[in-house]
A and B are shown apart, each in its own frame.
Chain A
Amino acid sequence: MVDAQQDFKKDKPVFRNIGLAQLIHYRLPWAGKVSILHRISGAVLFLLLPFILYLLDQSLASEQTHQAFQGLTSNVLVKLICLGLIWCFLHHFCAGIRYLLLDLEIGISKAESNRSAIIVFFLGLGLTAIVGLKMFAIY
């Protein structure tokens, strides 16, 4: 019985988790893209928490530190890092609200959830662009 089972198992194709090399060619649906970006943006925000708290500290502690904060954030590189963090926040925020709505069984059909994933993806980018244009004083 056990031997027979083992022979049977040998013939069965084995499906492992996909490897890193395959990931590049793996075409995720929009919901999948939004999901992995939700995870990545959350991880980035987590890693840069001390930097975010430091900026808050500098902006609030005193008049002098506030000036230092303004000096630091006028640096182009710092601005770009902040813009990256702002995208992480906005994407995480929008995708998170989508999940809360899905939990309430709002928009759970395949077509609707695909559409909401596309909306979340471009809303995150669009809002980041609005903040970015303001940051670099385009308007």
Chain B
Amino acid sequence: MPQYQIGPKRLVVGAHYGLKEWIIQRITAIVMVVFTVVLLVDYCVTGGTGYAAWSSLFSNQFMKLLTLLALLSLFYHAWIGIRDIWMDYVKPVSIRLGLQVLTVLYLVACAAYAVQILWKV
């Protein structure tokens, strides 16, 4: 076995992104859980289902930033999850790479849309 194949039994590969992404997926999940709780509590306290009550929730600068953080967390979280799906089910490298690139572009576009939505209010 050539020297560069580290490990006694098989080729060991990797760019050390596994653990980092694993942790990020958990951290972004926690951010989204916190946001969900804050939004629910805020909604219940403010009450009312009309436009005025709903839009005043998001006109608050703190809530805007928290919503943006939660949405950015969502997009990063979705990237890791969808990347895992492509890695599990799509074997040809060219198709997989293509799908991964499309996923990233799609999520970046979603992020831009999210910023536009929040700063219109």
Where the two chains meet, the residues of A that have a C-beta atom closer than 8 Å to any C-beta of B are 39, 42-43, 45-46, 49-50, 53, 56-57, 59-63, 66-67, 93, 96-97, 100, 103
Specify which chain A residues have a CB less than 8 angstroms from the CB of B120 in the assembled complex. 57, 60-61
23 contacts between A and B (CB under 8 A): A42-B81, A43-B82, A46-B81, A49-B106, A49-B107, A50-B113, A53-B113, A56-B117, A57-B116, A57-B117, A57-B120, A60-B120, A61-B121, A62-B51, A63-B51, A66-B54, A66-B55, A67-B51, A93-B36, A96-B29, A96-B33, A97-B33, A100-B26
Say which residue of A46, A63, A96, A100 sits within 8 Å of B82 (CB atoms).
A46
A60 touches B26 (CB 8 A): no
Say which residue of A39, A63, A103 sits within 8 Å of B26 (CB atoms).
A103
Known A60-B55, A66-B51; judge A100-B117 contact (CB<8 A): no
- Interface of chain B: mostly helix, strand, loop or mixed: helix
A53 to chain B, nearest CB (A): 5
- Interface of chain A: mostly helix, strand, loop or mixed: helix
B53 to chain A, nearest CB (A): 11
Known A60-B55, A60-B120, A100-B26; judge A50-B110 contact (CB<8 A): yes
By beta carbon, the residue of chain A nearest B110 is: A49
Known A53-B110, A60-B117; judge A93-B33 contact (CB<8 A): yes
Bound: A43/B113 CA distance, A: 20
B54 touches A59 (CB 8 A): yes
Bound: A32/B105 CA distance, A: 31
Flag B24-36 by CB within 8 Å of A: 1 or 0 each.
0010011001001
B69 near A: Cβ within 8 Å?
A: no
Bound: A20/B114 CA distance, A: 38
Specify which chain B residues have a CB less than 8 angstroms from the CB of A62 in the assembled complex. 51
Say which residue of A43, A63, A93, A97 sits within 8 Å of B85 (CB atoms).
A43
Bound: A56/B85 CA distance, A: 27
Bound: A111/B121 CA distance, A: 49
Specify which chain A residues have a CB less than 8 angstroms from the CB of B110 in the assembled complex. 49-50, 53
Known A60-B54, A61-B120, A93-B36; judge A53-B114 contact (CB<8 A): yes
Bound: A23/B29 CA distance, A: 30
Bound: A66/B120 CA distance, A: 14
